[in-house]
Amino acid sequence: MTDTSAAAPARTASKRTVLMCRPDYFTVSYRINPWMHPEDPTDTSLAVKQWDVLHQIYLDLDFDVHLIEPIVGLPDMVYAANGGFVIDNIAYGASFTYPERQPEGPAYMDWFEANGFDVRVPEEVNEGEGDFLLVAGKILAGTGFRTATNSHGEVAAIYGREVVSLNLVNPSFYHLDTAVAVLDDNNIAYLPSAFDESSLEKLRTLFPDAVIVTEQDAAVLGLNSFSDGYNVVIASRAKDFERQLRERGYNPIGVDLSELLLGGGGVKCCTLELRR
C-alpha cells in the first residue's frame, strides 16, 4: 500500500477571526429547508452543549471569537454565516428569502456597525457567507435556492473581485457552504451532484485537484466545515472526508452538531469569518 500521507504538502494554519451566536433559543418551529421537521422534538440544551464544544475548539485553536447576542423568536440566528459577508472590513449585509429569518439581517448589520465595520445594506436578496465563499482571491457565489443571482453583481461591485456564479440544484444543499468547503487559500472540497453541469465545469477548471466528497459525508453536512488552512473542523460522522483531509496534510477535527443539523446547519453555518 502506498503511503499517500508521506507525500502530502505541509499545511499552514492562519489565525481566524469569527462571529458566532449561541443557540439559546434554537428550535425547529417552521420548515424552510428539507432538513427541518417541526413535528419532531428538538433539544435546545443539547444544541447549546454541542455548540459550546465547537466554540471551545475555536478558542483552543487561538481563534479570535466574537459573539452576537441571540434574539428571542429568531431560532436560526445560531447560523451566523448567513448573517453577512465580510472582506476588507466591509460587511455586506444579508437579506433573507424567508420571512421567518428576515429580522436576522438588520440584527447582524447592527452588530457589524457597532463593531467598526463598513456596513453595506443589500439591495438584493442574499444569505451572506452561506452563499459567498472567498478562495483563490475570487468569490464563489451560490444561487438556485436562497441567494438571488443579481446579488452576485452587487458583491462584485462592492469588493472589486471576480465573482464565480455557481448554480445549486439539490434542495438538501440549498446554500453553497453545504456543498463546498474552503480548505485553504487555493483548495476546496465539493459535492458534484449539488451543481448543474455548467457550474461543475467551472469548479473542475478552477480546482482540478479538489477533494470530492461522498454522498454519505455530504448527507451529514460534512462539507459544512471551517478551516484555518491546516485544522479543518468537520462533522464527526464525515469519515471518508476525514480520511481524505489527512491524506492531503490537513488536520481534521470532528465535532458532533447533530442537534443543529435538525435545522439544516453544521460547523460552517455557525461560523461567520470576519476579515478585517
What amino acid positions are annotated as catalytic residues?
Answer: 175, 269
DSSP 230: S
Integer Cα distance of 51 and 192 in angstroms: 29
Given a contact cutoff of 8 angstroms between Cβ atoms, the answer to whether 260 and 269 are in contact is: yes
Could you give phi then psi for residue 195, rounded to 5 degrees? Answer: -125, 155
Alpha helices in the chain (DSSP H): 44-60, 104-114, 150-159, 197-206, 215-218, 239-247, 258-261
Sign of the CA dihedral running 146, 150, 151, 152: positive
Count CA within 13 A, CB hemisphere, residue 114.
10
DSSP 168: B
Given a contact cutoff of 8 angstroms between Cβ atoms, the answer to whether 80 and 21 are in contact is: yes
Integer Cα distance of 207 and 239 in angstroms: 22
In the three-class reduction of DSSP (H, G, I as helix; E, B as strand; rest coil), residue 272 is classed as: strand
Q: For residue 91, which amino acid is it? A: A
Please, which contacts does 196-199 make with residues 24 or more away whose CB atoms are closer than 8 Å? 196/167, 196/169, 198/167, 199/165, 199/166, 199/167, 199/168
Distance of CA 230 to the CA centre of its chain: 17
